[in-house]
Amino acid sequence: MSDLSIIFLSAVTATFFAAGIVKGVTGMGLPTVAMGVLGILTSPLTAASLLIAPSFVTNIWQLFAGPGFGPLLRRFWPMMTAIIAGTMLGSSWLAGSDTSFTTRGLGATLVLYAANALFARQLRVPEAMEPWLSPVIGAATGLVTGSTGVFVIPAVPYLQALGLAKDDLVQALGLSFTVSTIALAASLGIRGAFDGGNLALSVLAILPALAGMWAGQVLRGRIAPATFRRWFLICLLLLGAEMCLGPH
């Protein structure tokens, strides 16, 4: 293995370990951190390919850890269906040859998510709006997922605005992230955008991601999650700004 390959492998391992720590402390953030850091080291398409396996495993765990999978699926299936459709459409940009566009799009998504989480007031979505708004949010989330590899905008702020109980919110986020991961993998596979070596490395990345989650859960009892989350979001904001403004 070349020195460059060793350096890249070490960077991938460290990235997924750090992303796992963030997920262990805050309950989310693994795909966002991984895409943000790897999007600087390589193309967004390669970063998305590396993300698939660890994201799927950690989100499946989050999805089935809660008490109400069936009711949540019946409630949010229109949103999930729209996520799949939007991702299939949006992946044409991620799989395209213009990496500067997708890198800047990824950076803008990170900035938008971090700024919303840091500064926006908590919104509330009236129950009467949910039947038509859920598919709209799902389609928008799918387009962002397909074009940048990031699952969080606008699904996370929307689900937080529904006033779900804590366990239901965590499980609903797990459902959204799992569907997004599967849709992204399928759409990239259909477009022939997967590389066999990247898939193998993605499977290997499961181990540092799970190790990071364990470490994050240990840290959660020793640090204030709110403080950790604030500094994580500030770092994410700066990282996204660098991707938007830096040379590509």
Please report the pLDDT score of residue 3 as a whole number: 47
Separation between Cα atoms, residue 91 and residue 69, nearest integer Å: 28
Q: Where are the beta strands (DSSP E) in the chain?
A: none
- pLDDT, tens digit, for every residue of 10-34? 999 999 999 888 888 777 778 888 8
- pLDDT, tens digit, for every residue of 141-185? 999 888 888 888 889 889 988 988 877 887 888 899 899 999 999
Task: Give the residue among 151, 153, 206, 158 at the shortest CA–CA distance from 179.
Answer: 151
The pTM for the full model equals 0.82
Domain ranges of the chain: 3-245
Task: Give the residue among 165, 144, 163 at the shortest CA–CA distance from 153.
Answer: 144
In the chain, what is the straight-line distance between the N-terminal and C-terminal CA atoms, in Å? 27
